[in-house]
Amino acid sequence: MKTGFRITLMACGALALTAGASAAEPLQKGGQKAQAGVDITQRATYGDLSLSSGFTPDPYRIDMFSGGNVDATTIANGCVGMVARAPDFQLTYSAGSLPLIFGVTSDHDTTLVINGPNGRWYCDDDSGDGTNPLMSIPEPQSGVYDVFVGAYGGNAGAAQLYITELNGNASGDSGNQSNYAGAVDPFEAANYGTVRLSAGFAPDPHRISMRAGGTIDAQNIASNCRGFVTRAPDVELSYTAGSLPLVLSVDSASDTTLVVNGPDGRWYCDDDGGNGSLNPALHFSNPVSGTYDIWVGTYSSGASQPARLDISELYSN
């Protein structure tokens, strides 16, 4: 929910939060951490993971659904949204010198509620992009973080939790600088939206019309990348893999390129590997499930050019 202001910062103990987070003392029940209908002793719905500072891939992303039947306002002052009784995700983290950042991307109005290693509750509503939450911990503690992704006003839906140490600018605030090479930022909302596809999708190919190109030299991202791209991805593909390959290709009358950040955190690039001498294509023979951030570039700098991105499991172009 955007209200024209953000929740007031409250720093508690050794865990100082930015991005509008607030905190309150936990309520201990029967020697267990439980409060107002949530129970972090329950198994996390979307899994648990151990990460150490400097982890890769960064960001680490988890697809899920937001919301639940517990009112987060009963957990701590400053918490909002409806959350599940069990945590959505449990992170066991070994801290270093880097910050720890939690954020959510969703087409729905989401919130974050986190129980930190010190037993305190931390909450955020709209500090991220649009109506998405963002919580940055400049000096994180080692230990367990139980994460709940809430839905404001019961507006539950598909969401993606991301965990990063690199970029506190998921909200896209122009005053901050991205830590990503070449100033591209996979956290920013995709220019042409998010596409969610599962293996065997139809129609195949899935096609998105767009304008290729930007002002950022893709060679700054990786040495084998070419072309000029925008800061934000053109398309974010959330893909559930099966036994079929995944093919990303571009059709354009102009000389175009492809730059993709895969679920493994690696950069994949192509210039002229598609049909026609100037069209790019990337073939993932054994694709993994997760998020593919896709940029469609123009080989030369200058004005953007009409192009079409094709997502297929059968062929390119």
- Report pLDDT digits (tens) over 29-46: 223 344 568 999 999 999
Q: Cα separations (Å) of 13 from 26, 109, 168, 265?
A: 13, 29, 22, 33
| 272 touches 252 (CB < 8 A) | no
pTM to 2 decimal places: 0.55
List 144's β-bridge partners, or say none.
92
Cα separation, 130 vs 193, in Å, equals 14
> Which of 17-26, 77-86, 181-190 has the lowest average pLDDT?
17-26
Give percent of the chain above pLDDT 70: 82
Cα separation, 183 vs 25, in Å, equals 39
Residue 152's SS3 state is helix
- Which domains are seen in the chain, by residue range? 22-179 (2.60.120.380), 183-312 (2.60.120.380)
Q: How confident is the model at residue 162 (pLDDT cuts 50, 70, 90)?
A: very high
The pLDDT score that the predictor gives to residue 182 is 52
- Owner of token pair 């599962």: 198
The pLDDT score that the predictor gives to residue 78 is 82
Give percent of the chain above pLDDT 90: 57
> Over 90: is that where the pLDDT of 293 sits?
yes
Residue 72's SS3 state is helix
Cα separation, 154 vs 146, in Å, equals 21
The pLDDT score that the predictor gives to residue 36 is 62
Q: Who's near 134: CB < 8 A, 6+ residues apart? A: 19, 20, 101, 102, 103, 104, 112, 124, 127, 128, 168, 170, 171
The pLDDT score that the predictor gives to residue 245 is 96
Q: Cα separations (Å) of 46 from 43, 57, 236?
A: 9, 18, 21
Mean pLDDT for all residues in the chain:
83
- Ramachandran quadrant class, 153 (left: phi over 0; alpha: psi -120 to 50; beta: rest): left
